[in-house]
Structure formats: C-alpha cells, structure tokens
Amino acid sequence: MIIRQRKAPVKEMPHRINDKIKGVSEVRLVGENIETGIYSFEKAMKIADDLELDLVEISPSATPPVCKIIDYQKFLYQQKKREKEKKANATKVVIKEIRFGPQTDEHDFNFKLKHAKEFLKEGNKVKAYVFFKGRSILFKDQGEILLARFAQELEDLGKPEQVPQLEGKRMIITIAPKKGKV
C-alpha cells in the first residue's frame, strides 16, 4: 500500500518583499525614519538590512515602484486586525417576520403593528406575510388590502421595498426602516 503525503498549500504573500522584488533597478522609498526619495534597488535593500527590517513593494504599478521599509510580519498582523475590526463594525441586517391570516382581526392587527413599530425603531427590517391555508387562497385581495394597510400604518417609520407579492401560499411585503428615524 502506497501512502502519499499531501503538501500543505503554500500561502501566497499579498506583497513582494526583499529578494522577491525582481526586475526593478530603482524604487521610490518611503517609511518611518527614512528619507523619502528614489534609490537604487541595491541601496534600498542595504538600508532595509541595516535597519533589520523588510523592503516591501507597496505599489508595483507606479514608476518607479513604491517600496516601504517595515517589519512585514507586524504589518500583516495590523492589517488583519484592521479587517477584523471593520468586519465587527459592519451593520448586520436583521429581518423580523410577522405572520397574518387573510381574516386577521382588528385587535391582532394592532398588536402585530405595535411589534413591527418596535422592530423598525431598533433598525431591523420587517417581513410581513399573509399565509393562505387551503381554500383561503380565494381571499388574495383581502391579504393584499391587509398588507397595504400595514405598510401605510408604518409609513412614518419605514418604507416598503416592493408591493405585496404572492409567492406560493404566502403574500409578502418587506419594510425597511427609514434612515433618519433609527
């Protein structure tokens, strides 16, 4: 029996560093504690070696290419940290669902309307739908009227993203919160 070992996938670095920078005779050098200017590639490598840091190609498309003298591992760590923070601060869209029947009573309608107002004030989207069971699909117009009234009652807090649509046995409307009210 032959056992094959898998090679770990080699991570490709997003930037060319030190000796990986090829085909360049001179570079524009930037960084902390370095005089910004155009240097020959060899001189830039010597400066990086003297400072015990890495020469990293930041903008390869510029002429001459822009290189920065930094600690590359620290740079990658900080970049990953910034991306993680950005992801954590991104707003997450939450959709709250409210279900009606085609002959929903006035009290039930007002109760569900109160919940929808709270959801919109919190900045969540509201997906309201009328569920038709059995032959109640004959009352499509009642469901449409109910959802239109629901959207009209919530007009000051949110705006409908589309008109009520029938999907299978459900008639759906989605209401997004208004930006200024949240």
CA 162 – CA 152 distance, rounded (Å):
13
Note down the domain range covering 102.
95-177
Q: Are residues 63 and 125 in the same domain?
A: no
Which amino acid is present at 72? Y
CATH code of residue 36 = 3.10.20.80
Helix (H) or strand (E) holding 114: helix 106-121
Q: How far apart are CA 182 and CA 179, in angstroms?
A: 6
> What residue type is assigned to position 176 of the chain?
A
Is 116 found in the same domain as 42?
A: no
| Rounded Cα distance, 14 and 103, in Å | 60
Q: How far apart are CA 124 and CA 158, in angstroms?
A: 10
Instruction: Fill in the amino acid letter for 148.
Output: A
Strands ordered across the beta sheet of 54-59 = 37-40, 26-30, 66-70, 54-59
Can you give the pLDDT of all 182 residues of the chain as single tens digits? Answer: 566 666 555 566 667 777 777 777 888 888 777 788 888 888 888 888 888 888 888 887 888 888 888 888 888 888 899 988 888 777 777 888 888 888 888 899 899 899 988 888 888 889 988 888 887 777 788 888 888 888 888 888 888 888 888 888 888 888 888 876 44
Q: Return the structure tokens found at 22.
A: 């090829």
Shared-domain flag, residues 76 and 99: no
Residue with tokens 């989605």: 174
Cis geometry, peptide bond prior to residue 164 (ω within 30 degrees of 0)? no
Confidence (pTM) = 0.50
- Which residues, including other chains, have CB under 8 Å from residue 179's CB and lie 6 or more apart? none
> What is the three-class DSSP state of 91?
coil
Residues 115 and 173 grouped into a single domain: yes
Q: Number of folded domains in the chain?
A: 2
